[in-house]
């Protein structure tokens, strides 16, 4: 190691990227967001039959996959149940409880029990919101702690789930024009949320985090927003089969772009703020 260490003489070392949360943690946000969004759009589509049950099951499986990714990070897996202990103050505990309650709600919805779909939709939204607040609660990471990250993650999760819903549209046939318009509106809202988030964190994040977010943001704007919007607009003037194909491609690229932004945010933009000593002690001087 070279000496003096990096940051020496500048009142503390430069920010460095955290390594506690890696791609496995990102998998939780990706899988949970996709699953929650897929459940929301499936309920809103008011589909029926085997397709309805399969879409709900897929959404629940994605939520479970995200939680499984988190379990892979645990040094002591047998203590995983401790996550349920403190929902009063912990967003991780709230996320866990929301996932547990989501299971019977989705099963009841798939079984066609009256009124269950409203609970499933509400719990899916609660789960996605808990995930977003969980990341924002990491106060030591400037790119995560900004309040603007919450709407970004919520709307991105809804879009990712909607994207998978439209990818499967040729099979379930429930992708109505109103849902396509709602999908387009969410795309616009997500890019606005992204621009607001970037403006909010611009002066607080490390250069490495800025470079990572700028790269992901370019993909989100072009491949994750402009291209899907153009495809959805073109679908409105195309024949039925072509429209389904165009919407499916739009959903796929929008979902992948959202997942890439989350992966970048967790694994490459997670620089802490470093530390500084703005007031150094001076021998013989009063402080």
Asked whether 105 and 123 are in contact (CB, 8 A), the reply is yes
Which fold, 23-267? Formate dehydrogenase/DMSO reductase fold (1.20.1630)
Other beta carbons within 10 angstroms of residue 247's beta carbon come to: 28
Other beta carbons within 10 angstroms of residue 148's beta carbon come to: 16
Q: Is the peptide bond before 4 cis (omega within 30 degrees of 0)?
A: yes
| Tally of CA atoms within 13 A in the half-sphere of 22 that contains its CB | 7
- Three-state secondary-structure class, residue 17: strand
User: What are φ and ψ of residue 273, in 5° steps?
Assistant: -90, 0
- Give pLDDT, residue 277: 56
- Full-model pTM: 0.88
Instruction: Report the distance separating Cα 264 and Cα 37, nearest Å.
Output: 20
Other beta carbons within 10 angstroms of residue 79's beta carbon come to: 9
Instruction: Report the distance separating Cα 210 and Cα 269, nearest Å.
Output: 7
Instruction: Report the distance separating Cα 277 and Cα 41, nearest Å.
Output: 50
- Three-state secondary-structure class, residue 271: strand
Asked whether 247 and 262 are in contact (CB, 8 A), the reply is no
Other beta carbons within 10 angstroms of residue 171's beta carbon come to: 12
Instruction: Report the distance separating Cα 165 and Cα 99, nearest Å.
Output: 20
Domain spans of the chain, in order of start: 23-267
* Full pLDDT tens readout for the chain, 287 residues: 333 344 333 434 678 888 888 999 999 999 999 999 999 999 999 777 889 999 999 999 999 999 888 877 766 666 667 777 888 888 989 999 999 999 999 999 999 999 899 999 999 999 999 999 999 998 889 999 999 999 999 999 999 999 999 999 888 888 888 999 999 999 999 999 999 999 999 989 999 999 999 999 999 999 999 999 999 999 988 888 899 999 999 999 999 999 999 999 999 999 988 765 566 667 766 65
172: closest CA among 29, 41, 265? 41
Instruction: Report the distance separating Cα 262 and Cα 156, nearest Å.
Output: 9
Instruction: Report the distance separating Cα 100 and Cα 150, nearest Å.
Output: 22
Six token digits for residue 53: 């049950």
């Amino acid at each position: 190691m070279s000496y003096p260490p990096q940051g020496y003489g500048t009142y503390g070392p430069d920010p460095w990227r955290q390594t506690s949360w890696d791609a496995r943690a990102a998998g939780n946000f990706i899988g949970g967001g996709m699953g929650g969004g897929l459940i929301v759009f499936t309920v809103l589509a008011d589909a029926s039959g085997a397709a309805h049950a399969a879409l709900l099951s897929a959404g629940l499986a994605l939520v479970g996959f995200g939680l499984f990714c988190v379990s892979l990070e645990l040094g002591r897996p047998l203590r995983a149940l401790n996550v349920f202990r403190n929902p009063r103050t912990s967003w991780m505990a709230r996320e866990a409880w929301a996932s547990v309650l989501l299971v019977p709600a989705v099963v009841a919805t798939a079984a066609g029990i009256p009124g269950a779909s409203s609970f499933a939709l509400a719990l899916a939204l609660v789960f996605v919101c808990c995930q977003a607040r969980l990341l924002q609660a990491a106060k030591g990471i400037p790119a995560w702690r900004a309040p603007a990250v919450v709407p970004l993650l919520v709307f991105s999760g809804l879009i990712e789930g909607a994207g998978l819903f439209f990818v499967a549209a040729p099979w379930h046939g429930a992708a109505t024009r109103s849902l396509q318009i709602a999908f387009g509106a969410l795309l616009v809202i997500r890019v606005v949320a992204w621009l607001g988030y970037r403006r909010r964190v611009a002066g607080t994040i490390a250069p490495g985090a800025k470079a990572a977010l700028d790269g992901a943001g370019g993909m989100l704007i072009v491949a994750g927003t402009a291209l899907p919007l153009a495809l959805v607009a073109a679908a409105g003037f195309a024949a039925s089969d072509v429209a389904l194909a165009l919407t499916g491609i739009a959903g796929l690229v929008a979902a992948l772009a959202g997942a890439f932004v989350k992966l970048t945010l967790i694994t490459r933009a997670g620089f802490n703020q470093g530390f500084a000593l703005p007031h150094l002690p001076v021998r013989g001087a009063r402080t």
